[in-house]
Amino acid sequence: MAYTIDPEKCTACGSCAEVCSDDAIKLAGSAYKIDATLCAECGACAGACPNDAISAPSY
Q: How many domains does the chain have?
A: 1
**Domain span at 13:** 4-55
Identify the pLDDT of residue 44: 98
Cβ count near 58 (within 10 Å) = 6
pLDDT at 32: 98
Pairing of strands 25-28, 31-34: antiparallel
Q: Using 50, 70 and 90 to split pLDDT, how confident is the model at 59? A: confident
For the stretch 13-56, pLDDT in tens is: 999 999 999 999 999 999 999 999 999 999 999 999 999 999 99
CB distance 3 to 44 below 8 Å: no
Above 90 in pLDDT, residue 1?
no
| CATH classification of the domain holding 36 | 3.30.70.20
Q: Are 9 and 30 in contact (CB under 8 A)?
A: no
Please give the pLDDT value at position 58: 86
Q: What are phi and psi of 28, to 5 degrees?
A: -130, 90
| 43: DSSP letter | -
The answer on pLDDT for 9 being more than 90 is yes
